[in-house]
Copies of this chain bind each other. A is one copy, B any other.
Amino acid sequence: MVRRRQAVTIKHVAADAGVSLQTVSRVINNEPNVRPEMKERVQAAIDKLGYVPSIAAQRMSGSRSYLILAINDRDRTIADWRARLGTDWVDQMLLGGMLKCAEHGYRMIFELVDTHSDHVERELLGAIAALRPDGIILTPPHSDNPQIVALLDEQEIPFVRIGSKQNGAGIPVSMDDEGSACQATGYLIERGHKAIGFIAGSNEYELSGWRVDGWRKEMAQAGLATDGLLAEGDFSFASGEAAARELLDRADRPSAIIASNDQMALATLEVARSLGIAVPQDLSLISFDNTPLVHFTQPPLTAVDQPIAATTAKAVELIIAARNAEPAPARLTIVPATIVERDSVAPPPGHAGG
């Protein structure tokens, strides 16, 4: 591979291979109407010169930019970064998104946008104008922001709405909140639990409801009652404490609790400790999200993994498919979640055959 100061362009390749620019372009883009023999010759020149097309030039000529924009909420993301509590949502997005992009010769650019601000439009249009991305990935709470959705629709840029089940413009992709709540509930039922409490998340997030639904559905299917077993939280540690106390202070307290996120599970663990309730011997606990903190609790928490990486990878695939003029899936895409077993679940006290 010859290295030069002056970047090697399509011209150099064309000259070296003794063909026209267009032929080189066709080879780069895997277009038809090139004889294998030609293709080989051009490819040889490309390899020899170490040629890589400039995405700026590709963009300019009306082709793709090979850029996919992943947009997160600014305030929330920065707050998480500063808190340094190990929230790895962004990391998991990069893991799933960047690697999938790389497979297809794309690049993922991560952006922060202020949902609540009145200049969302300006911010977003600015990013789009500057970068001209081939697609955009929206995450909550942007995914259901009507202003943003309308704007992207109008711009005719393929976009995926992660964590949304709403219809409308864009391609919704969701993690299986309801299904995994069913799974978690079933997992406890299998082990002999009958009184399974559930701590719900904030109503502001639709997924809170989906998780409750899954629990309710699975309990109903097993013929188990849910009265007095639902406590409301808002995803914060403090709300988790209050909810856990509500459930555990009762004489007929549940033998297991599912918390809608890790923070509230952590809070539940604290409350249990303060009440002298041993986990998992006296109380089984399953949390949602499987963020890093589940490794550091005593005991480590069995948790429903939120498949952020897989979901982001799926989003990238859908965008690239859309760019290739393939039709979007007719129905909502749901990415399955799994339970990661650790040490916070045991059969209920007094259960035979632990």
Contact = CB atoms under 8 A, between A and B. Distances in A.
Nearest to A99: B78
B55 A156 contact: no
Nearest to A126: B52
Q: For the complex of A and B, list the 10 residue pairs with the smallest distance between their C-beta atoms, beginning with the closest.
A: A86-B86, A86-B292, A296-B296, A52-B129, A56-B59, A56-B56, A81-B95, A52-B126, A81-B91, A55-B130
Interface string A234-258: 0000000000000000000000000
Contact of A52 (B57, B107, B125): B125
Copies of this chain present in the complex amount to 2
A82 B95 CA distance: 8
A278 interface: no
A98 B154 CA distance: 28
Contacts of A98: 110, 112
Interface of A: 1, 3, 5, 7-8, 50-57, 59-60, 65-66, 78, 80-82, 84-86, 88, 90-92, 94-95, 98-99, 107, 109-110, 112, 121-122, 125-126, 129-132, 151, 154-156, 290-293, 295-298, 309
29 contacts: A1-B122, A3-B121, A7-B132, A8-B129, A50-B122, A52-B130, A53-B129, A55-B131, A56-B59, A56-B132, A78-B99, A81-B91, A81-B92, A82-B95, A84-B92, A84-B291, A85-B292, A86-B291, A86-B293, A88-B91, A90-B94, A91-B91, A98-B110, A98-B112, A107-B109, A107-B130, A109-B109, A110-B110, A296-B297
Contacts of A81: 88, 91-92, 94-95, 309
Contacts of A57: 56, 60
Nearest to A151: B3
Contacts of A55: 56, 130-131
A130 B105 CA distance: 10
Contacts of A56: 55-57, 59-60, 65, 132
A151 B1 CA distance: 13
A56 to B, nearest CB: 4
Given A1-B122, A52-B130, A84-B291, 6 more contacts: A52-B125, A66-B130, A84-B290, A293-B296, A296-B296, A298-B298
Contacts of A122: 1, 50
A43 to B, nearest CB: 15
A288 to B, nearest CB: 14
Contact of A94 (B50, B110, B121, B296): B110
Contacts of A129: 7-8, 50-54
A53 B84 CA distance: 35
Nearest to A298: B298
Nearest to A131: B55
Contacts of A99: 78
Contacts of A59: 54, 56
A222 to B, nearest CB: 31
Given A122-B1, A132-B54, A88 B84 contact: yes
